[in-house]
Amino acid sequence: MYNHVFRLTGSWTLAEDVTQSTFLVAWRRRGEAGPVDGLVLPWLLVVATNATRTEWRSARRWLAALRRLPPEREVDADLAGDVAGRLDDERQMAKILAVVRRLPRAEREAVALCLWSGVPYGEAAKALGISEGAVRSRVSRARARLARLVADDNKQEEER
């Protein structure tokens, strides 16, 4: 779950927060849980995706409020190796997310469930309320579109 949310957010810290809120929401909505072939993971991953969207909306509002405040003084910090590694992970994931966010929402959801979190196509289909063929089609289109987008981005960077 934690890795799934990291892949959606690109931030280890935010992934921790969203994972916690996912389980809180899941506990509150446990009566509505829709197990897929007796498994709750696909339902939890969809709850996590929705919790991530909620977090992004809250963050946008929070940042808008912060922009209205005067800037604070910068503080120099001694960064440990772990922090540097996390920052590198987040930078790399931000690049990936920049490309993935250009996909249509339905394709992003299929990528997050099937490719990033390893949910089988059939379980993802049941969790999303669509046919398995539709999930396979979304994943296939997403892969093709991502390949084109990455190639275009690389070409543009070479021209700079």
Model confidence pLDDT, tens digit, residues 102-128 = 999 999 999 999 999 999 999 999 999
Asked if 122 and 134 touch (Cβ cutoff 8 Å), the reply is no
* Cα within 13 Å of Cα(15), Cβ side: 17
Residue carrying structure tokens 């981005």: 153
Indicate whether 118 belongs to any domain: yes
Residue whose C-alpha is closest to residue 127's, from 25, 22, 29, 43:
43
Indicate whether 106 belongs to any domain: yes
Residue 60 is predicted with a pLDDT of 87
Residue 160 is predicted with a pLDDT of 75
Residue 73 is predicted with a pLDDT of 61
Domain tally, the chain? 1
Indicate whether 77 belongs to any domain: no
Indicate whether 59 belongs to any domain: yes
Indicate whether 34 belongs to any domain: yes
For 152, the token pair is: 């275009």
List the domain range (segments joined by +) for residue 105.
2-68+96-159
Indicate whether 84 belongs to any domain: no
Indicate whether 113 belongs to any domain: yes
Tens digits of residue pLDDT in 49-101:
999 999 889 888 988 888 888 876 655 455 567 777 888 889 888 888 888 99
Tens digits of residue pLDDT in 21-47:
999 998 998 887 767 777 888 888 989
